Amino acid sequence: MTATKGLEGIVAASSSISSIIDGVLTYRGIDIDELAEKASFEEVAYLLWHGKLPTRLELKGLQEQLDQYAVLPEPVIAGLKLYPSGTHPMAALRTAASSLALYDEEAQDMSREANVRKAIKLQAQLPTIVAAFARIRQGQEPIAPKKGVSVAHNFLYMLTGEEPAAVAVEALDKALVLHADHELNASTFAARVTVATLSDIYSGVTSAIGALKGPLHGGANEAVMVMLDEIGSLADVESYIQAKLDKKDKVMGFGHRVYKNGDPRAKHLQRMSRQLGELNKDMSLYEMSVKIEEMVTGQKGLKPNVDFYSASCYTMLGIPRDLFTPIFAMSRVSGWTAHILEQLADNRLIRPRAEYVGPVNQRYVPIAERG
């Protein structure tokens, strides 16, 4: 038995949710380029869960369910108020998402019908948690969700208490579409491993949030912004990035386990970053990002991934950098839950083997003889 480090190239599940074939990403067979231009996030979530685009009536039904479920149980809000100051929003989201199960009477109901309902509940509630926590940590009261508006609109409204600009809603909606699913990435795998023991959907999503938090995965979008803030200006990009490349340090937001010729989502976010810069009449973050890309791609051949240009986009939308990964989670929960439903529909425990590389033929030495 020989281990493959990081399971690179190992096919660990069959799935009909999203595919990456020859560098092309599809959700249920539809090219992400088309979905990014034409679909709303709610349509995409429905597509991921049900394998087909919704009719007008089905979309209306989903909107009504999202409206109904977006309100958090009072004890979950009370819990958010107890977290210590300085708690990272991803840690808060992980804990609060887990606590949702305590107040859902059907948390342990493993029927498909109940699990689809819980997928919609989680989709509705995660944005409310992120926005509520963002306000609570600043000493503000959370804002109740609005009915009849999109996830993107509602999130920006709950964050600021103001009606968001149409252009901001459109940009966030597209970002949510682009982040919704991505085959067997680390957090989705974590979700599938968890529910494959027949644990509940809340446990699966809690595992996934924990896996997304790390900077090699979803946490990279925040790390990109930390880097842009550290650099500070276009004039300082060259020396900063060159020093990183010379030391063989990783430049966050570049490289990918699967895409070697570029992440198809990055171009949409790059375009969005340029457009938001033009709109804000401040091209500095966009220009810094482009310069970083020129250097990293030029010298290392590494291309930007989904986390690179999303950082400048979210900042130009006025979103604090430690909310970037929670925003990723509030989109990806659609994909996680679609994968959980798929796993449970044809379940088998996920339990690979390890290649043992430790000592052999050792004996127990009584404690008195151990020196």
Ligand X SMILES: CC(=O)SCCNC(=O)CCNC(=O)[C@H](O)C(C)(C)COP(=O)(O)OP(=O)(O)OC[C@H]1O[C@@H](n2cnc3c(N)ncnc32)[C@H](O)[C@@H]1OP(=O)(O)O
Residues binding ligand X (CB under 6 A) = 6, 216-218, 220, 250-257, 300, 302, 305-307
- What is the x/- site pattern for ligand OAA, positions 275-314, by CB under 6 A? ------------------------------xx--------
DSSP string across 201-243: HHHHHHHHHHHHTSTTTTTHHHHHHHHHHHH-SGGGHHHHHHH
Q: How far apart are CA 314 and CA 103, in angstroms?
A: 32
User: Does residue 192 belong to the site contacting ligand OAA (CB under 6 A)?
Assistant: no
Q: Please identify, using beta-carbon distances, which residue of 149 and 329 lies nearer to ligand X.
A: 329
Smallest separation (angstroms) from ligand OAA to the CB of 340? 16
Question: Would residue 346 show up in a list of annotated catalytic residues for this protein?
Answer: no
Among 256, 263, 268, 339, which one carries the catalytic annotation? 256
**CA pair distance 211, 199, nearest whole angstrom:** 17
Residue 185 binds ligand OAA, judged by CB under 6 A:
yes
- Nearer to ligand OAA among residue 257 and residue 271 (C-beta): 257
The yes or no reply on residue 182 touching ligand OAA (CB under 6 A) is yes
Q: Does 220 bind ligand OAA (CB under 6 A)?
A: no
Q: In angstroms, what is the minimal distance from the CB of 117 to ligand OAA?
A: 25
Ranked by CB distance to ligand OAA, the top (closest) residue is 185
For 127-186, the DSSP string reads HHHHHHHHHHTTT----PPPSSS-HHHHHHHHHHSSPPPHHHHHHHHHHHHHHS--TT-H
State yes or no: residue 124 binds ligand OAA (CB under 6 A).
no
Contact between residue 265 and residue 178 where contact means Cβ atoms under 8 Å apart:
yes
Q: 163 vs 67, 95, 298, CA distance in Å?
A: 17, 29, 42
41 binds, among ligand X, ligand OAA, none (CB under 5 to 8 A by kind): none
CA 219 from chain centre, in angstroms, equals 9
Among 88, 257, 271, 291, binds ligand OAA (CB under 6 A): 257
Query: In which order are the strands placed within the sheet that holds 24-27?
Result: 18-21, 24-27, 30-31
Handedness of CA 257, 49, 180, 122 (dihedral sign): negative
Contact call for residue 146 and ligand OAA (CB under 6 A) = no
Count of CB atoms within 10 A of residue 10's CB? 10
Is 217 one of the catalytic residues?
A: no
* Shortest CB 235 distance to ligand OAA, Å: 31
Please identify, among the stretches 66-74, 229-237, 250-258, 336-344, the one whose residues bind ligand OAA according to the rule CB under 6 A. 250-258
- With contacts defined by CB under 6 A, name the span among 5-13, 60-68, 203-211, 254-262 that binds ligand OAA: 254-262
213: tokens are 């938090």
**In terms of CB distance, is 305 or 343 closer to ligand OAA?**
305
CB atoms within 10 A of CB 221: 29
CB 103 within 8 A of CB 188: no
Which of residues 88 and 257 has its CB atom nearest to ligand OAA in the complex?
A: 257
CB 308 within 8 A of CB 253: yes
Comparison of 132 and 186: residue with beta carbon closer to ligand X: 186
| Cβ closest to ligand OAA, residue 89 vs residue 219 | 219
Residues in contact with 111: Cβ distance below 8 Å, sequence separation at least 6, in sequence order: none
**Which residue, judged by CB position, is nearest to ligand X in the bound state?**
255
Taking the complex as a whole, the smallest distance from the CB of residue 311 to ligand X amounts, in Å, to 10
- Separation of alpha carbons 196 and 193, rounded Å: 5
Q: Which residues are catalytic?
A: 256, 307
The residues that touch ligand OAA, with contacts defined as CB under 6 A, are 182, 185, 256-258, 305-306
